[in-house]
Structures are given as structure tokens and as C-alpha cells.
Chains A and B, each alone.
Chain A
Amino acid sequence: MSHMTESGSSAAVPAAVAVKNVSKIYPGGVEALSNMTLQFPKGELTSVLGPSGCGKTTLLKIIAGLLPANSGTVSVNGRPVTGPGPERAFVFQDFALMPWASVLRNVAFGLELRGIPKSERMAIAEKQIENVGLKGFEKHYPHQLSGGMRQRVGLARALAVDAEILLMDEPFSAVDEQTRRKFQEDLLGVAQSEKKTFIFVTHSIEEAVYLSDSIALLLPRPSRVSEIIKPDIRRDIDPDAIRRDVVYLDTVERIWQGLRKYIE
């Protein structure tokens, strides 16, 4: 690649999550990650973008503490990760809601596990349900909601535990295109108001460019970070105008040109 990493430029913002020389080999010998080093700046939305098979979900699960790495370290605010922790919350690709529980209980579930008293956690959950635009659906059950609404529940659950870092694993891939666009706009709003660190795994170039402060471009076999891209899009403009913004379109094109030789 002509333009190699410029990860040094993120040194100004301290890293919330630092991945250092991480390798992951699945039982059976499939090498998902090899010697990966990557930093996620605090308070920013960083996308991990790459074609399927580049190990991006594996990386996210290692950061979440759901998978152990074979070698290397992941540290969150300087402390090494040994398992899941309260400063990280996960948003799942298939929503992972409890079908037997109402929206309200699903959103409050992280707090329930922490032993927060019922009235308190219900108040927090109600606030977050409103925050993601699901007010009025508190008593509904997941099977009564559309895919997009279910993922809003998943997001509200992650916001309810007030974790500093949100880990999102292709959260919109099981949602239809129209809903996805609306959801992306809303996520931009949430990201700006919440001041959290977002790590966002996706295979959609448009989505990554639209949402991210920076994009880590991953390439497969052997999986590696090929480039860090910072789409310098003005965020004060109308969310719809971003999709027509020249910088947005150029960045999408540039990433595609970089990726296309790895497809097929």
C-alpha cells in the first residue's frame, strides 16, 4: 500500500484500549489474528473495517474479554484485560436479547446482574429506552419488535450500564437498509452526546466512513492492520448532508480502491 499506517497521529488523544502484538489461533489451526497492534483513542468512534475473515469480530471479542488471546496483551485504560469488565459493554450482531423478558427487563439486565435495586435500575432503563427512541415499548417482548427495534434494545442495554467503552459487533448487519440508515443517524447523535469510546466492527465501507472518527482497515490472510484512515468529515452538518459530502464520497472511494484487490 502506498499510504501506510499513520497511527502515530492519534498520540494526542490517550488510548482507551490498546491492543499489543495480539495473536489468536483457533483450535484446529485457523489463524484469526497474528501479531496485531492497534490503539483506540478515548472518546472517539473507531471502526474496525475489513472483509469477512479478517478477524475483526475475533479482535472485538478479545477486547471484550470473551475470548482469550494466544499471545499479546489488551489493556483498557492501562490495565490488562483478563475477562469482561464493567467499563466495557457489548452490542451483539444478533441482538442477544432474552425472549422471555420484556424490553424493560432486557435493558436493565446488566444492572440486575450487578444487584442494583429494582426501582433504581428500572428508572435508568426507562431513561435509556427513551434515549434510543423506544419510549412506549417498555412492556413489549423482543418477538413483538422489528429487527431494528431489537437492536435499539441491545444498544439501550449497553448504555444502561454506563460503560465507558461500547463494543459493537456489526450491530446493523441484521437490520434492513432503510432502518439501518436511520439507526446510523441516531447512533451519531448518541455518540456525540454520550462522550464514550466506541469500537465499531463493520464490513460496510459507507457505514464506517459515515460514523467514524477513525477507521482501522484490516486485511485478511495474514490478518493485519493495513491503514488507519481518519475521514475528516464535518460533523456539524445535517446527517443527511454527510452522505453527499465530497470528503465522505472520496474516503469511501479511496478505501474501496485499497480493498478491491483483496476481494476474490
Chain B
Amino acid sequence: MKLFGIRLPMMASLIIWAIIWEIIGRFDLSILLPPLSLVIIRMFEIIPTATFFNAFWITVKAFLIGTAISIAAGIPIGVLMGRSLIADRMLLPWVNMFLSAPLTALVPVLMTLFGFGEMTIILTTLLFAIWIIVLDARAGVKGISPSLVEMAHSYGANGWQAFTKIYVWAALPEILAGIRLGFVRAIKGVIIGQLLVSIVGFGRLFELYSSNFLMEHMWALLLVLFFFAFLIAEGMGIIERKFSYYAASR
């Protein structure tokens, strides 16, 4: 974008919004909106603390386990649904239902079943992430050219070889898109899970800050989370673009 003949960098709008935030914060209009500069100072205060590190580690662990299971289970289920009409008929209604369901409402159920610990948070993450991965893997496999499947079959591929050497690769652009969307949903899942459980990880910190009206802390933590969510989505986007070169030539 160009303004008055000067080329503006990509994130220029963020700077403008940061300035607006700072000015409004300076007016002391509300306790809810402290100036950005104070938030950033607070951020650097919080990050080196053990409390933050513990919360961060618990969150990362739940996120990684949840997404790993989602990917490991979601891709085979999606491929199976794409290949087998019976599996598709059996599973598709459930996948579609869970994809659009308000999963937050299920977290209290998980809490009664699995307690107020990491298990509940991992399952929440899984529940948020897996459905889109299944659905995208299914779409990718459905789009594979029939002759590629025939090729594998005619050259003697068994089921496992067809899965690992053809289906996963041929559907890779869609699978990666599914994983990226799954990651974004998993971030929501892991935070929502912690907020509802509210005695673990960032959930505990949010609970602590908001009940004590520590708005600077609250915003600092939010900014850190937003930043990591953005980083994960962008990182997956880069990997995805690396493989999109053959999406058109399949």
C-alpha cells in the first residue's frame, strides 16, 4: 500500500492502532483499558516469572498432545471416509455435527468425567481440533484423480502402501490446510479449556488477574497469546505454500 507516495510496510496499520490505544489509555476513561506502553512493560515483567513459565509449559504440552492425537487419528479417519462409502455414511453426520457444535458447552461434561486437570484440557483441545482435520483429509482424498488410485493398485500396492505412498501425498495440500485450521481451533480449545477449568495454566492466571482487576497483566497475557496464535497459523501457512505447487497438477 502507498500513502502520499510513501510505501507503507505490511504491519503499518498495527502501529496506528497501537497509537490510538495508547492515547485512549492515557485519558484514563476506564480501568479496563490501560495504556499500551504500561501493558508492554508489564508483559516483560510477567514473562520471566516461574508462574508464567509453568502456565506456558502446561499450555504448550496440552496443545501439542491434543493436536498430535488430532493429526494422528484425524488423517487416517479422513482418508478412510474419503475411500469408503460405508465409513463416510457412518461418520460424516458426527463430524459435521461436532464441527459446528458449540463445543465449549461440552467442557463441563469433560470436567465431571475427567476432573479439573490436564486430561480435560487435552481432550478439549482434541475436540476442537480434530473435526476439521478429518473433514479436510476426506475432501483431499475424494479429490484424488481416480487414475492415480488405479495406478497404485495396478502396480501392486497393498492398502498400507496406497495410504502412505499415494493418499496422504495426493491429499497433502488439503491435509495441511486442515492441520492449519486445526491448530487455530486447538489454540481456542486449550485456552477455553483452561479458562473453564480455571485452576490450571493460563486459566488460573486469567482468573487471578481478572478477579483482582489487574488489567495490565490481563492485556499483557492476551497479547502474548495472540502473538503465539498468529505465529503458529503463519508458520503452518508457510509449510502449506511449499506443497501447494502440485495442488493444481494432480
Contacts and interface: CB of A to CB of B under 8 A. Distances in A.
Tell me, yes or no, whether A binds B.
Answer: yes
A138 to B, nearest CB: 18
Contacts of B40: none
Contact of B154 (A84, A99, A100, A112): A84
Contact of B246 (A66, A100, A110, A114): A100
A143 B246 contact: yes
Contact of B250 (A90, A99, A141): A99
Nearest to B158: A113
A246 interface: no
B150 A66 contact: yes
Contact of B245 (A64, A114, A143): A143
Contacts of B166: 98
Interface string A81-121: 00011101110111010111000000001101110000000
A49 interface: no
A156 B126 CA distance: 45
A161 interface: yes
A243 B31 CA distance: 91
A98 B169 contact: yes
Closest A-B pairs by Cβ, 7 of them: A99-B246, A96-B151, A96-B147, A110-B155, A143-B249, A90-B154, A84-B154
B151 A92 contact: yes
Interface in A50-92: 61, 64-66, 84-86, 88-90, 92
A113 B161 contact: yes
12 contacts: A65-B154, A66-B150, A66-B153, A88-B154, A93-B147, A96-B150, A96-B151, A98-B169, A109-B155, A109-B165, A113-B156, A143-B249
Interface of B: 145, 147-148, 150-157, 161, 165-166, 169-170, 172, 243, 245-246, 249-250
A89 B249 contact: no
A44 B147 CA distance: 26
B150 A113 contact: no
A92 B148 CA distance: 9
B246 A113 contact: no
Given A90-B155, A92-B150, A98-B148, 8 more contacts: A84-B153, A84-B155, A88-B154, A89-B155, A90-B154, A96-B145, A99-B246, A113-B165
Contacts of A109: 155, 165
B147 A92 contact: yes
A112 B172 CA distance: 21
A142 interface: yes
A86 B156 contact: yes
Contacts of B154: 64-66, 84, 88-90
A99 B156 contact: no
Contacts of B246: 99-100, 141, 143
Nearest to A88: B154
Contact of B156 (A84, A93, A142): A84
Interface in A31-62: 61
Listed residue (B145, B151, B155, B172) with the most chain A CB atoms within 10 angstroms of its CB: B155
Contacts of B151: 90, 92, 96
B156 A94 contact: no
Contacts of B145: 94, 96
